[in-house]
Amino acid sequence: MITKQLICPKSIVVVGASNNVHKPGGAILRNLIEGSFKGELRAVNPKEKEVLGVACFASVADVPPTDLAVLAIPANLCPEAVEILASQKETRAFIILSAGFGEETHEGALLENRILETVNQYGASLIGPNCIGLLNTCHHSVFTQPIPNLNPQGVDLISSSGATAVFIMESALVKGLQFNSAWSVGNAKQIGVEDVLQYMDENFDPDRDSRIKLLYMESIKDPDRLLLHASSLIEKGCRIAAIKAGSSESGSRAASSHTGAMASPDSAVEALFRKAGIVRCYSREELTTVGCVFTLPELKGRNFAIVTHAGGPGVMLTDALCKGGLNVPKLEGPKLDELKEKLLPGASVANPIDVLATGTPEHLDIAIDYCEKEFENIDAIMAIFGTPGLVTMFDMYEMLHQKIKHCRKPLFPVLPSIHTAGKEVEQFLAKGHVNFSDEVTLGTALSRIMNAPRPAGNKVELYGVDVPAIRRIIDSIPHDGYIAPHFVQALLHAAGISVVDEFVSGNKEEVLAFARRASFPVVAKVVGPVHKSDVGGVTLNIKGEQHLALEFERMMRLPDATAVMVQPMLKGTELFIGAKYEEKFGHVVLCGLGGIFVEVLKDVSSGLAPLSYEEAYSMIHSLRAYKIIQGTRGQKGVNEDKFAEIIVRLSTLLRFATEIKEMDINPLLATEKSVIAVDARIRIKK
């Protein structure tokens, strides 16, 4: 529950206030005073009459009615203070900085529960305990430094960790990134990351509120709520980036399938972020860099021009952009020759455009003008300009300031000399700009942003999927565990997924008869053992009956063998699709190259069922091996549309067969015309 008294209180009391600003109770009161809080400030400390110039009371029982209470007292004293304030002083918002609660001991958890019961009884908000507080344009109720520049159009930061929130703000300050609010939810006993996001979504005002949200999460308690409100905010015009740190113990548990071995809570997070449209980051530097990119005009294309006075950074930025699937196209034509004539002798203009270390602000002006107005295949411009310490950069950065103000294309300033040209960079940032001091981090951030899909929602693609048949098959399966091959085939057929002809039998003559009808060569696989390849239970390219008979006899002697499956021998690129049910998240669908590559390379991408076609294509495109799927080095690519269709159909099957807990289709054999399932396993639990 987030109350108006938490967001914009008219009065605040700091319980445990101190004249020592090196203690939380002193530091938070100092920050409130220096933040020019416009309401009434009060303090509680039995040893003081006044704290930092603020009237001080001996006990919470003595304070007048107060909207918000910030507690910086020992954990065992907090429940009683909250009870008095809520019941007698009409306090409807609490920020508890104190540690020593559920994060440490069972007794601490009991204290936390008492506090939660009280605040819920009186309809009050609770941030924490074990947090650094809440910072917004109304009040600076945090005990930490730094306090960033606050701006209603700055970013909203929501963090599970107080220390990490501080470090994120530190990282943002040197980039010029401004904040609207910073929430440290701590133990999140009442208000967690999902709750803050829900509040921001349900109360979103497009004319007043920040459109940029940065999240740091150590757990996702309610994936459905996170998905709902994150995707809703993005559809309203917001942009969200997040770090999800840590993994649960379940991520390392043994699993019996390829998918089970690779799927983890982290792949579920990846899938959730993909569906919501959240840009996933892996470090504070990435997160704040993405936040800075979000402050600039939205990119409309993937082609970048790099204007620099130093060759090395231009090359490294080119590498980072291309590695992320973005382009630094070669510039050609008469206009390029014209540009070269206007720069210093020796300048390079092919892209990156190197105006040389002796280039002037006028040369920068000219190069950016040509990228903006003359080169139509350029969507955005990067300007890399530092200093070797021989000259000041005030004029250069003033020129860059003017170009950013008027350029029709997004213009990214990369100013690496934050020490040598510190004053110049500081003056540049003071004009409201951001700075990307590291070009590779910028290139990585841009690739994450450009490759993040739009929110997909939960629409189920039903076309061609026989839902009644799926339910009949599932209901007819007699027991839990891995199901018989004929059930697998029936489910795939009901989902509209093409399956290779196969025959299963423990009778050698029946197997030989099918092989004659199907025509040699064929493939034989043992039925029974879970990992067929590990026990020698797969033989390819069997060209005659005698060979097949020998393989049948050998396989039937393998441990746990119950029958032999025989299929026509097909050719194509091996692909993989699998799925695993993750508690709270639902079915996570994985795809990648198939056969042994899925285990050796572990190059898989994940999505959360049900999947849209856009999500399926995004999954395919994010694979490191995507060039193989496209076709490379003279080899033909595979039918990407069919691959995406099977991913979507599989996700629909899972939506109506929640009993499926693990599933592999490995391999799918793909050509430029078709994609067909060759081997599949399904484990159910009713």
Q: What is the pLDDT at residue 419?
A: 92
pLDDT (mean) for 199-220: 96
Fold of 501-569: Dna Ligase; domain 1 (3.30.1490)
User: Confidence band (pLDDT; 50, 70, 90) for 255?
Assistant: very low
What's the whole-number average pLDDT of the chain? 92
* 460 neighbors 653 (Cβ within 8 angstroms): no
> 């399938």: which residue's tokens?
257
Say which CATH architecture domain 573-684 belongs to: 2-Layer Sandwich (3.30)
Residue 298 carries which DSSP code?
P
Q: What is the pLDDT at residue 387?
A: 87
- Kindly report the CA angle at 184 between 180 and 188, in degrees rounded to 5? 135
Confirm whether 301-451 and 501-569 share one CATH topology. Answer: no
High-pLDDT (> 90) share of the chain, %:
82
User: Confidence band (pLDDT; 50, 70, 90) for 266?
Assistant: confident
User: Confidence band (pLDDT; 50, 70, 90) for 249?
Assistant: very low
pLDDT digits (tens, 9 = 90+) for 376-389: 999 999 999 998 77
Q: What is the pLDDT at residue 252?
A: 38
Q: What is the pLDDT at residue 598?
A: 74
Q: What is the pLDDT at residue 253?
A: 41
* 631 neighbors 664 (Cβ within 8 angstroms): no
Q: 260 pLDDT exceeds 80?
A: no
Residue 618, burial from CB neighbour count under 10 angstroms (0-12, 13-18, 19+): buried
CATH 3.30.450.40 fits 148-295, yes or no: no
Residue 603, burial from CB neighbour count under 10 angstroms (0-12, 13-18, 19+): middle
pTM: 0.88
Report the top-level CATH class of 301-451: alpha beta
Q: How is residue 110 written in tokens?
A: 């009991």
How much of the chain is helix, strand and coil, in % rounded to 5?
40, 20, 40
Q: 339 pLDDT exceeds 70?
A: yes
User: Confidence band (pLDDT; 50, 70, 90) for 264?
Assistant: low
Q: What is the pLDDT at residue 251?
A: 37
User: Confidence band (pLDDT; 50, 70, 90) for 254?
Assistant: very low
| Strands 522-527 and 573-582, bridge-based pairing | unpaired
pLDDT (mean) for 625-654: 90
**Which ranges constitute the DSSP H helices of 309-453?**
311-323, 334-342, 361-373, 394-406, 422-430, 439-451
Distance CA 258, CA 583 (A): 18
* 210 neighbors 200 (Cβ within 8 angstroms): no
Q: What is the pLDDT at residue 456?
A: 86
pLDDT digits (tens, 9 = 90+) for 141-172: 999 999 988 999 899 999 999 999 999 999 99
User: DSSP string covering 329-369, please?
Assistant: PPP-SHHHHHHHHHS-TT-B-SSSEE--TT--HHHHHHHHH
Report the top-level CATH class of 1-132: alpha beta
- Indicate the domain borders of the chain: 1-132, 148-295, 301-451, 501-569, 573-684
Q: What is the pLDDT at residue 262?
A: 55
Q: 261 pLDDT exceeds 70?
A: no
User: Confidence band (pLDDT; 50, 70, 90) for 104?
Assistant: confident
Q: What is the pLDDT at residue 534?
A: 82
Q: 524 pLDDT exceeds 80?
A: yes
pLDDT (mean) for 172-193: 96
Buried b (16+ CB within 10 A) or exposed e, 180-197: bbbbbbbbbbbbbbbbbb
Least confident residue range of 281-295, 395-409, 585-599, 652-666: 585-599
User: Confidence band (pLDDT; 50, 70, 90) for 603?
Assistant: confident
Q: What is the pLDDT at residue 19?
A: 96
pLDDT digits (tens, 9 = 90+) for 45-67: 999 999 999 999 999 999 999 99
The 3-state DSSP class for residue 564 equals strand
Least confident residue range of 54-63, 621-630, 652-661: 621-630
Least confident residue range of 433-437, 615-619, 623-627: 623-627
pLDDT digits (tens, 9 = 90+) for 478-494: 999 999 989 999 999 99
pLDDT digits (tens, 9 = 90+) for 443-469: 999 999 998 888 987 778 888 899 999
Q: 94 pLDDT exceeds 50?
A: yes
